[in-house]
Structure 1
């Protein structure tokens, strides 16, 4: 792995939460020798008390949080940090619109990073001091090649069916009959044009739009999320169905069993532990299949880094963001349309030497450029330059 060095490591106050990227960031700090302190985020006044006690006991060079955890919509936390001269870095690995709903004070000490290369322009319009693209990465100590060669065992897919997520939002939203009838047609339209904001399709349905406008801010946001989730559910199921002729192993929620019932042969497995079990699963499959959620259509997800890092071959959907990170055809293999999936899977199942060559190239690129040490070093560099 290419060594990453920080000439003068910053002291970071990390806002922790139950999210997959947090342990990766913590381990990257430890490997880089970055001094840090952790404060666990929770919806309680005790969190802010602990946060500012930590700030006042030893002033950090900056605070690092993910998806704006710890910040309020009114900007009060940012104002208190400004008075203390403490900048904050927020790394979005989800849609920033869900968390940033208004302008930011022009003197706020806030830098925002996003895993979506299209997001920084929109984020910049809120008035933040810095907005930039920062993709996900790999933890090479967790997702690493096994010491002994693992025998390949076919096609594997890991991911949610998104059905449970749709059900959860429906329960939380408690929407009336008109909104319930309307979300699936809207999802179908957005599925065909995910680069178009859902709001534009909604505004085109005048009666539905008027009902939606009468909801609270939270309920309106949740409804947009519902439309996006339903579209992603349909999108993902359609692509995974293309794998059924190859009798894949599908790892995810139990809804897959109902969704794929009677459509073909497959093996279902419940969710695997991210750090303890997934590396071994990825490494043993001849072909690991990936389909990006529509909310993230312009970016790349975690599997793009994790699978090659542990010696697994990945077949994933094409996109501009992927081409910015890897060399298509050499370091990554892609499909464009559903009808491309079957031929691509067939080809690569039969070419073990070709798979190894792609995996080695991808893994070399990841270790050289796409680890969490690289991402943390980028954040530290930006924070030093901007603040």
Structure 2
């Protein structure tokens, strides 16, 4: 799909983010846009009033930039790649000049059902050119592990601010809800199980302000808090189980050190992570239980490096890739152990899947393709022609 070519190099300001803003800027330049990258600061946001670009792009939604762009009548494009991203529930997301693209179709669909019109599903992507440059660099230290997992372990608000203050009865109820998230898709119904009495009890006992937002009911906010706690526990339990059978290296923040034996340290996203993905026999992905259908950057990062990926299941995996051809999905921890054991003994199958996964990614999931889809949708809306919700749904 080709985007309508802007007249005489339309200008776009891309506000910097820690991960993919640089990839977006490069793709936009490839498409012929005049791109300016700026640090996200109050002065630079206010500077839009004098710069007056044709478009503004951020990674994740920023309600203040949305307000400024609405005032200036500049199309504001936000690509949401995190869950939860609380700013998307602000009423600013429904501004007439805001166009929000969310990697999780379930979240985008729910916002549409709440009355937000210009919200769409857009998966994340990979920068094959950037990874290709790393491919030709000498790898000074290839990983020495059968399995690698690159992810932070973030101590949750529930664990630090709510759990220590709960009564035994309330703690047991919350623990039951957290444990229920072991079942696939259980998070879809989590908010419905959080009645007003439970919410009020948690607020009273913990003193934690369970505030929602314009498009985020309090029950959904609490569901995210419980989901984050479940994912914190799940990551530790999965890695501890794998360590009993395999050599596994865990890369991320210091929180891991006290939880697992195989903690290696931090891995830089742009330099070290690609080498880990390229050199590991198996790369593990554990999508958080509170992510309903979307795929995190790790899926695309691993495949773009030609790494072999084993991941738990989400709906987008079957819409964007083919299980058993591009990557391999697991059902539960025992299934994961058996899958890892099998592919560690079948090198050729593992390498073939990794190569096919990289080929599928290069063909269908690049930043140029994503920016093309994004701008085509926005330009259609500006002409009064409603843009498609998603290419995949």
Instruction: Pick the TM interval, shorter chain.
Output: 0.7 to 0.9
Q: Does the Cα contact within 8 Å between 2:251 and 2:264 map onto a contact in 1? A: yes
The verdict on how the C-alpha distance between 1:297 and 1:79 changes in structure 2, with shifts beyond 3 A counting, is: closer
SS in 2 for 1:242: helix
The verdict on how the C-alpha distance between 1:105 and 1:304 changes in structure 2, with shifts beyond 3 A counting, is: closer
Q: CA deviation at 1:198?
A: 4.0
What is the aligned counterpart of 1:208 among 201, 205, 211?
201
Matched residue, 1:377: 372
The verdict on how the C-alpha distance between 1:332 and 1:287 changes in structure 2, with shifts beyond 3 A counting, is: same
Matched residue, 2:388: none
Q: Does 1:195 align with 2:184?
A: no
SS in 2 for 1:24: helix
Query: Gaps (5+ residues) in structure 1?
Result: 261-265
Q: Does 1:146 align with 2:138?
A: no
What is the aligned counterpart of 2:148 among 149, 153, 156?
156
Tell me the C-alpha RMSD between the 2 structures.
3.3
Q: CA deviation at 1:371?
A: 0.9
Q: Report Cα offsets for 1:108-164 as digits up to 9, x if no partner.
A: 12222110021222122344442221001111123337349987842111112223x
Q: Report Cα offsets for 1:155-202 as digits up to 9, x if no partner.
A: 111112223xx26x766x689824897465553345552222447425
Q: Does 1:241 align with 2:240?
A: yes
Give 4+ residue runs of structure 1 displaced > 6 Å after superposition.
148-152, 218-222
Matched residue, 2:99: 111
How many pairs were matched up? 364
Matched residue, 1:177: 165
The verdict on how the C-alpha distance between 1:206 and 1:324 changes in structure 2, with shifts beyond 3 A counting, is: closer
Q: Does the Cα contact within 8 Å between 2:150 and 2:250 map onto a contact in 1? A: yes
Q: Does 1:287 align with 2:282?
A: yes
Query: Gaps (5+ residues) in structure 2?
Result: 383-393
Matched residues in 2 for 1:97 and 1:229: separation?
13
For 1:1-387, what aligned pairs fall within 5 Å after superposition?
6=3, 8-9=5-6, 11-42=10-41, 44=42, 46-55=43-52, 59-60=53-54, 62-71=55-64, 76-77=67-68, 79-81=70-72, 84=73, 86-95=74-83, 98-103=86-91, 108-144=96-132, 146-147=135-136, 153=144, 154-163=146-155, 166=156, 177-178=165-166, 182=171, 186-190=177-181, 192=183, 193-198=186-191, 200-201=193-194, 203=196, 205=198, 207-208=200-201, 211=204, 215=209, 217=211, 225-244=224-243, 245-260=245-260, 266-387=261-382
Q: Does the Cα contact within 8 Å between 2:12 and 2:33 map onto a contact in 1? A: no
